[in-house]
Structures are given as C-alpha cells and as structure tokens.
Amino acid sequence: MSSEKARLATMWFYGCSGCHMSFLDLDERLVDLAKVATLVHSPIVDIKHFPPDVALTLIEGAVANVEQVETLREVRKRTKLLVSLGDCAVTGNVTALRNAWEHGDRAVLERAYADPSNLNAQIPNLVPKLLDYARPLHEIVKIDHYIPGCPPNADQIYYVVGELLAGRQPVMEGRSKYG
Amino acid sequence: MLHVTLQQGGASINPNNVRLRINGSEVAVPEGTTILKAAALNGVEIPTLCEIEGLTPYGGCRLCIVEVSGTSKLFPACTTPAAQGMEVTTQSPKLYEYRKMVLQTLLAERTHICAVCVANEHCELQANANNHGVDHVMYERNWSCESIDSSHEFLVIDRNRCILCTRCIRVCDQIEGAHTLDLKFRSKSTNVIMDQDQNWGQAMSCTSCRKCAKVCPVGAIYIENENIEFTKDRDIAAFLSKRRRRSR
Ligand code: SF4
Ligand code: SF4
Ligand code: SF4
Ligand code: FES
C-alpha cells in the first residue's frame, strides 16, 4: 500500500524554519496528507541523503552558499516537481537583505563571527563559502511552482500540495501573498 | 441645471460627447475624458498605480494599459483620451501578461522585502501583485541600495521601496502648493528629492502636511511610529480639490 503513495520531500536552505512551521500547521490535515503521500526526506526526519525518484519537493529558504547550489541541482535531478516554499525561496526575502550591500557576504560573516564583542572573534573556515548574493531558487534551477508568503499559511500549502499531488495545476491568482 | 441633467441622463445626445465601446458596451462621455474615467463611469475597473484621483495623470507605471482595436499598440488608460468610435478592451490574456510584467519589473527594480516593510499588507504594489497571481519575479532583481532619509521630525523616505510614481511630488505641488519634492536624474538613477536635494529635515519649503505619506502607494514614505494603515488616504487629493472648487 505505502509503495503507491507519492514520495514527498521538504528541505531548507537559508530560511528561518517558519515555512516548515506553517507546513506543520496543517495540523490534522497532515493525517490526510499521510494517506496519499509518504515523507521521504525532510529536516524533521532523520535521513541524511536526498533520495531518488521523489514526486514533489518543497524547499524553504534562499540559496546563499556554494554547497547549497550543488545540493539544489542534485535535488532537481531527483524530484519530478519542485516548489519554492515561502518568500526566501521565492524572492530571497530577509536572507537577501545583505544583497543590497557591497560585499554583503563578508559583512554578514563579520557581523556573525567577528563582532568585536565576541571572545576569540574569528570567521571559521569550515563553513561553505557564501555566494556574493543570496538567490531565489529559480535563479539556479527550474522551479515548477511558487508559494510566496513569509510564511505562507497552511491553507495555501495544503491547497498547492493537494492540487499537485492530484495532478492538477494550482491557480495562484488572489491566493498568493508576499510578506 | 438643465445641462447637468443632459450630461448625466442623456449623455449620448450632448454634442460634446464622444461615443466609444468599452469591452463591447457602447458608452458616451464628455470629450477629453480619459479611457480610465470613461471606464470607471461605466462600472469597469482598470488596475492603476501611479494614477490617483484629484491629481493630474502621469502615465508612468503602465499598469492601466488597454487594447484599442485597429492597432497593436497598448495605451495607458489614465492618460489617453476617449475618442469617437474607439473600441477599447480592458481585460484580455495579453493585457494580463503585460500587467504581470509591469508588476514584476517594479518588484525587480528596487529592494522590496515585504516581510520587513512598514507597508506590508497595506501596499498597492503588493496587492496588485497578489491579485494578478505574481507568485515570483522572473527577472533578476536589482538589489538597490538607495538612501533612506529620516532627518525630518516624523516623515521618513526609504527610496528602496519607491516605484517613482510621482504621486508625492504631484500632491505636494498641486494640492499643498509647496513643491518640496521633485525627481532628480533619469533612468536607474532617478530618485525623489527634497528642495535642492537636501535632507528632508533641512528642506525649508516643506510644511510637514503629511500629504505625501498619505498618497504614497507603497512603503516608501511613511510617518515614524504611526501605523501606516492610518496614514494612508487615497482620497485626500480628490477630497481637497473638490472642497476648494466648492469654496471658490
Ligand atoms: S513597498 Fe510594498 S511591495 Fe515593496 S516591500 Fe513594501 S509591502 Fe512589499
Ligand atoms: S509633508 Fe507636505 S509639504 Fe512636506 S514634502 Fe510632504 S507633501 Fe510636501
Ligand atoms: S515616494 Fe511613494 S509616492 Fe513618491 S514617487 Fe516614490 S512610491 Fe511614489
Ligand atoms: S495608472 Fe496609468 S500609467 Fe500608471
């Protein structure tokens, strides 16, 4: 039975997890969703590698470092439908605030790690290199659907996921909402 | 009085009227009426951004574009006068796509981050984008770093959210009569300035009347510590100009 269920995945890049909170806000509708889909990868399940043959993947967050670019390209190959979930994924949003500064990549690292008020202030060299600009997902790979919102509400997510799993095209006029 | 009755009741028999079709229905309006007004008078709504009742039309944003039969050119309804025999279409898949493009170019032009904007949920650009199903911006965004001026006692301008609609400039000039505001430079470098490009706090001609904040369609001009919902007043220019005509 479970093998007939659609393989669903969620991911996050540079976001605040708010979009995932909204996803969890589906509440009892998660039970309905579980009847038709099985969650094969997500920050809320403990599976390290992104699996193959995924039907639908929702991604929260903007792409902001080199590692995420690679991961996103890999996810694109392994999933049939890719959805940008929330404003950070759709526009860059708060993650992209740094884009307006020259050398914003450097500025955020300095602010986070090298602030003089920190003890032993230094920028770690283990973190993947930041891109000069934080990017919305569709600037890196082809995206099939967008759910704007900061965060999008549970009704919007349920509607889009439901339509896509049923093989229909969601209509966003009057339903999408930036901010 | 008789003239008024004729205009309203039997509009089509007034010799100064032009007859045209809007979305197939025949309408008659006084000569010189814009397509936008003609449509509104006949219950047809056309989306707008730079246009605001009570101020001269500007024709800058192009959201109000309409089709006119016999030409493939699109016309801004807010500045194009209705003409005899014109056949106007205000809604079509083509117009819809173009309006979506207009909205996306506006969103791409400067740094619009609704989630951290004072006008979130009270913004005409955001509302139009939502209503037109603009669920992403297909153009690469130009992350602007324009100046923010908070030197005035309570008025603030964040030029990163300005869509250059000139509503503030027109209301300041045409209603308040101060002409504190104007535009400098052209194209990508265009910006709203105060007096001779001074800080707002030093702009002597500003009467601090707040009208600019009331008509700004987005979150560019706002009043510090005031909920933008209470600041905004789309009807202020029309209200004041009507009152002044009456008192003359
Ligand atoms: S001005 Fe409007 S579109 Fe721009 S960030 Fe603010 S709410 Fe969003
Ligand atoms: S407050 Fe009034 S006078 Fe001052 S810039 Fe705005 S519209 Fe002009
Ligand atoms: S500040 Fe507001 S009203 Fe003035 S031009 Fe910019 S968007 Fe228009
Ligand atoms: S409303 Fe007509 S061009 Fe802006």
**Which residue from A minimizes the CA distance to B147?**
A100
pLDDT band of residue A119 (cuts 50, 70, 90) is confident
CA gap B106, B109 in Å, rounded: 5
Q: At what angle do helices A154-165 and A29-36 cross, to 10 degrees?
A: 20
What is the four-CA torsion angle of B121, B160, A139, B132, rounded to 10 degrees?
A: 40
Give the pLDDT confidence score for residue B41 in this predicted structure.
95
Tens digit of each residue's pLDDT (9 = 90 or more) over B124-154: 999 999 999 999 999 999 999 999 999 999 9
B33 lines ligand 4 (CB under 6 A): no
Atom of ligand 4 nearest to the CA of B50: 4
Give the pLDDT confidence score for residue A2 in this predicted structure.
47
CA gap A26, B199 in Å, rounded: 49
**Which residue from A minimizes the CA distance to B160?**
A100
**Ligand closest to CA B121:** 1
Q: What is the ipTM of this complex?
A: 0.90
Least confident of B71-80, B112-121, B237-246: B237-246
pLDDT average, residue stretch B57-80? 97
Measured between CA atoms, how close is B231 to chain A, in angstroms?
Answer: 20
* Assigned CATH topology for domain B13-91: Ubiquitin-like (UB roll) (3.10.20)
Q: CB B143 to CB A136 under 8 A?
A: no
CA gap A150, B121 in Å, rounded: 12
B38 lines ligand 3 (CB under 6 A): no
pLDDT band of residue B7 (cuts 50, 70, 90) is very low
Contact call for residues A7 and A55 (beta carbons, < 8 A) = yes
**Which residue from A minimizes the CA distance to B107?**
A91
Give the pLDDT confidence score for residue B3 in this predicted structure.
41
Q: Count the Cβ atoms, other than its own, within 10 Å of residue B7.
A: 16
Contact call for residues A11 and A43 (beta carbons, < 8 A) = yes
pLDDT band of residue B118 (cuts 50, 70, 90) is very high
B124 lines ligand 4 (CB under 6 A): no
Q: CB A176 to CB B134 under 8 A?
A: yes
Give the pLDDT confidence score for residue A83 in this predicted structure.
98
**Which residue from A minimizes the CA distance to B118?**
A179
Give the pLDDT confidence score for residue A123 in this predicted structure.
85
Q: Taking 90 as the threshold, does the pLDDT of residue B169 lie above it?
A: yes
For residue A69, which amino acid is it? Answer: V
pLDDT average, residue stretch B31-58? 97
Q: Taking 80 as the threshold, does the pLDDT of residue B1 lie above it?
A: no
pLDDT average, residue stretch A55-84? 98
Contact call for residues A43 and A17 (beta carbons, < 8 A) = yes
Question: Cα B32 vs. chain centroid, distance in angstroms?
Answer: 19
Alpha-helical regions (H) of A63-153: 66-78, 87-91, 104-113
* Residue position matching structure tokens 């702009």: B203
Beta bridge partners of B112: none
Domain boundaries, chain A: 6-98+131-165
pLDDT average, residue stretch B236-247? 90
Question: The domain B96-247: what is its CATH number?
Answer: 3.30.70.20
pTM beyond 0.90: yes
* Interchain contact A93–B (C-beta under 8 A): yes
Q: Taking 60 as the threshold, does the pLDDT of residue A31 lie above it?
A: yes
Mutate to test the pocket of ligand 3, among B221, B223, B236 (most ligand atoms within 8 A of CB): B221
Q: CB B143 to CB A94 under 8 A?
A: no
* Residue position matching structure tokens 């707008």: B48
B61 lines ligand 4 (CB under 6 A): yes
Q: Mind giving me the DSSP string for chain B?
A: -HHHHHHHHSGGG-TTEEEEEETTEEEEEETT-BHHHHHHHTT-----SS--TTS-----S-TTEEEETT-S-EEETTTSBP-TT-EEE---HHHHHHHHHHHHHHHHHTT--GGG-TTTTS-HHHHHHHHTT--S--SPP------EE--SSSEEEEGGG-----HHHHIIIIIS----EEEESSGGG-EEEETTTB-GGG-TT-----HHHHH-SSSSEEETTS-HHHH--TTHHHHHHHHHHHH-
Q: Taking 70 as the threshold, does the pLDDT of residue B203 lie above it?
A: yes
Q: Mind giving me the DSSP string for B132-195?
A: TT--S--SPP------EE--SSSEEEEGGG-----HHHHIIIIIS----EEEESSGGG-EEEET
- Which chain A residues contact residue B137 at CB under 8 A? 91, 136
Bond preceding residue B30 cis, omega within 30 of 0: no
Q: CB A91 to CB B129 under 8 A?
A: no
Give the pLDDT confidence score for residue B92 in this predicted structure.
97
Task: List A residues 35-54 in contact with B (Cβ-Cβ < 8 A).
Answer: none
Q: Taking 90 as the threshold, does the pLDDT of residue A127 lie above it?
A: no
Residue of B111, B126, B145 with shortest CB distance to A179: B126
Residue of A101, A139, A178 with shortest CB distance to B130: A178
pLDDT band of residue A32 (cuts 50, 70, 90) is very high
* Assigned CATH topology for domain A6-98+131-165: Rossmann fold (3.40.50)
